[in-house]
Amino acid sequence: MSDIFKKQRPLSPHLQVYKPQMTSVMSIMHRFAGIALSVGSLLLVWLLLAAATGPEAYNIFMVFAGSLLGQFMLFGWTLALYFHLCNGIRHLFWDVGYLFDLKNAYRAGYLVLAATYILTIGTWYCVLYH
């Protein structure tokens, strides 16, 4: 009996078959951002450990943070954090049962992208002109 069902059951297509959509791209970006933030935690550990060690270690961290590579990493950190924060809130809405219909899933998605953009630019405006 199970043989019949096995033969007729459609195979699930591979991911590459699907056209990327805003919803699916944002979904995988949430994961990338989460991983990037986990790695970024190492910067915070470094800062706290350096400050606990003494002025010299602290200054080494500050020189790195101000370097081109350091600024690039910090920019990536704010971008990932803001995206993950805003999209995480979108996730939490789903978790309590809202925003499931296509129209609102897309609306909230565009809102997340706009908020990420504004927050990142705003933060770096403060950094550069504080």
Partner 1 sequence: MKKQSFRSDLSRAKGLGSAGHGSEHWMAQRITAVALIPLVIWLIYSILNLIGADYEQFTTWLSQPLNAILMILFVIASLYHAMLGSQVVVEDYIHNKKLKMFKLIGQKLFFFAIGITCIFSILKIALA
Residues that bind ligand HEM (CB under 6 A): 30-31, 34-35, 37-38, 41, 84-85, 88-89, 91-92
In the complex, minimum distance from the CB of residue 13 to partner 1, in angstroms, rounded to a whole number: 18
- How far is it, in rounded angstroms, from Cα 118 to Cα 74? 17
Structure tokens at 120: 């990142």
- How far is it, in rounded angstroms, from Cα 58 to Cα 12? 53
Q: What share of the chain is helix, strand, coil (3-state, %, to 5)?
A: 85, 0, 15
Q: Does 70 bind partner 1 (CB under 8 A)?
A: no
- How far is it, in rounded angstroms, from Cα 42 to Cα 22? 31
Site stretch for partner 1 (CB under 8 A), options 12-20, 21-29, 81-89, 110-118? 81-89
* SS3 at position 55: helix
Binding-site member from 75, 76, 99, 105 for partner 1 (CB under 8 A): 99
In the complex, minimum distance from the CB of residue 108 to ligand HEM, in angstroms, rounded to a whole number: 13
In the complex, minimum distance from the CB of residue 88 to ligand HEM, in angstroms, rounded to a whole number: 3
